[in-house]
Structure 1
Amino acid sequence: MGGSIQKLTIGTYKDSNYDRRIEAGAFKAFINPTSFSMTYKSEFTSDQPEGASKANLNYSKTLPSDLQLEFLFDGTGVTEANSGNKLLNTIAQKLGKKDAFVKTAVKDQIKAFYEATGELSGPIHKPYNVILNWGDFEFQGILSEFTIEYKLFNNEGRPLRAIGKAKFRESISPELAAKIENKNSPDLTHKRMVKKGDTLPLMTERIYGDTKYYLEVAKVNGLINFRQLTAGTELQFPPLDKQV
């Protein structure tokens, strides 16, 4: 039997250093996106003379990448309980099992998403920087665009289903970017999602190149039984000089 489905989660951070986390799971997708796309861009300069038909392009810089995602916000309840099983849903309805359909209003789902990604936060006077995690995928940036398309309504005109099209722009501080260029840098805080079969010594070796730090990592994450890790758990692997 396979493990439980990992949901896309969004964590919020004060700035693009990503060293001061506000909330680990500020938003968790009710329904995972069916797909996502990445856009990578580079900027070039040209020394093409007047009248020439060909150009020699010189690399200038790599621009921040863009992540595009489509979220389905569903308030009917059908997709949240017994997802994909029409027979179970039909039986539940006939039996009058109201609790089988946990309905979360579309407006509340969208509000939770926007509060985590795009709404102005008073204490920091700007929207949060975010880290999106989905399985092995991780993206650090800010929400640059969010479009909502309402698709289904009840008799009172309230939306029952909507598609949210979100675009995130990569945003990483110069200090963090310099550290990321050396992916094994011991002074970089790493955040990793536990996968099935992972052990703390194995994950520690991937990050630091040595298993000997796994006890320190266990302390930082408050792990009592570090021999049994739960898939989907986010662990912090701090800079070596900041371990306690």
Structure 2
Amino acid sequence: MALEKAVIHNLDTNEDVGVLFNPKEYIIEKRTPWKEQEIQGLDSPAVEFTLGERKRLSMELFFDTSEEKSDVRAFTDKIEELMLVNADQHRPPLLLFTWGNLQFRCVLEDLVQRFTMFLNDGTPVRAILKVLFKEYSSAASQIKEKPRHSSDHTKRIILQEGESLSSLSAREYEDPAQWRVIADANGIDDPMNVEVGTPLRLPPLY
């Protein structure tokens, strides 16, 4: 059984943009950069996670209308339109690339068109499009899918009368057993002997 045809679905207009031929392959990339912190006296810099990068889906799409002797741009222009600003949304459209069990919610961020065959009058009848889709996911949907157990940023507080690392952990992380995270972040050896008024860093949990 032949593999079903790849489709680019415009989520804004609910329209499908088909490809003439399925790609021979596709590449999915994901990077998670860490920021280096220069701290004097260490053999190597400390690192801190700041912000993840979106997944990238790249491939080449092949279009050929040489048998029909028609302009291949009737198909390639539809791909290019996926990068143009929508007058109602004030942005290019949101897309869903579907091929078999691959479902990739994205935007088309990069397009390179190469025309390789022409009729005698110069009409292009064959083209190879190099496309790069980048993952699209709103902040609300990301938080809903993966709820955070703490703030995304390090907090700084002053230990108040009656507070302990365990009580801080219960309040900030909803788990008193995470007091070790606070102790490690502040170089505390004895969690039972922290003076009132001590400034503390409360790092995020990942």
8 Å CA contact 1:45–1:57 kept in 2: the answer is yes
Amino acid in the other structure paired with 2:44 = K
Secondary structure class of the residue paired with 2:30: strand
Match of 1:8 in 2: 6
Match of 1:41 in 2: 31
Within-5 A mapping of 1:65-214:
65-77=55-67, 105-115=71-81, 117-181=82-146
Amino acid in the other structure paired with 1:174 = A
8 Å CA contact 1:140–1:171 kept in 2: the answer is yes
CA distances 1:207-230 after superposition (whole Å, capped 9, x unpaired): xxxxxxxxxxxxxxxxxxxxxxxx
Alpha-carbon distance in 2 for matches of 1:180, 1:35: 29
Task: Give the root-mean-square deviation of aligned CA atoms.
Answer: 2.1
Shift of 1:158: 1.2
Structure of higher CA gyration radius = 2
Match of 1:59 in 2: 49
Unpaired runs of 5+ in structure 1? 15-21, 78-101, 183-244
Alpha-carbon distance in 2 for matches of 1:137, 1:104: 31
Number of aligned residues: 147
Alpha-carbon distance in 2 for matches of 1:112, 1:44: 38
Q: Cα–Cα, structure 1 residues 24 and 177, in superposed 2: closer, same or farther, change >3 Å?
A: farther
Unpaired runs of 5+ in structure 2? 148-206
Secondary structure class of the residue paired with 2:78: helix
Alpha-carbon distance in 2 for matches of 1:32, 1:8: 6
Q: Cα–Cα, structure 1 residues 104 and 135, in superposed 2: closer, same or farther, change >3 Å?
A: farther
8 Å CA contact 1:42–1:60 kept in 2: the answer is no
Q: Cα–Cα, structure 1 residues 152 and 45, in superposed 2: closer, same or farther, change >3 Å?
A: same
CA distances 1:107-127 after superposition (whole Å, capped 9, x unpaired): 101112222x21222222221
Shift of 1:52: 5.8
Amino acid in the other structure paired with 1:45 = K
Secondary structure class of the residue paired with 1:178: helix
Match of 2:173 in 1: none
8 Å CA contact 2:8–2:97 kept in 1: the answer is yes
Alpha-carbon distance in 2 for matches of 1:156, 1:51: 70
Secondary structure class of the residue paired with 1:113: helix
What is the aligned-residue identity percentage? 20
CA distances 1:107-152 after superposition (whole Å, capped 9, x unpaired): 101112222x212222222211001010010111111111101111
CA distances 1:184-226 after superposition (whole Å, capped 9, x unpaired): xxxxxxxxxxxxxxxxxxxxxxxxxxxxxxxxxxxxxxxxxxx
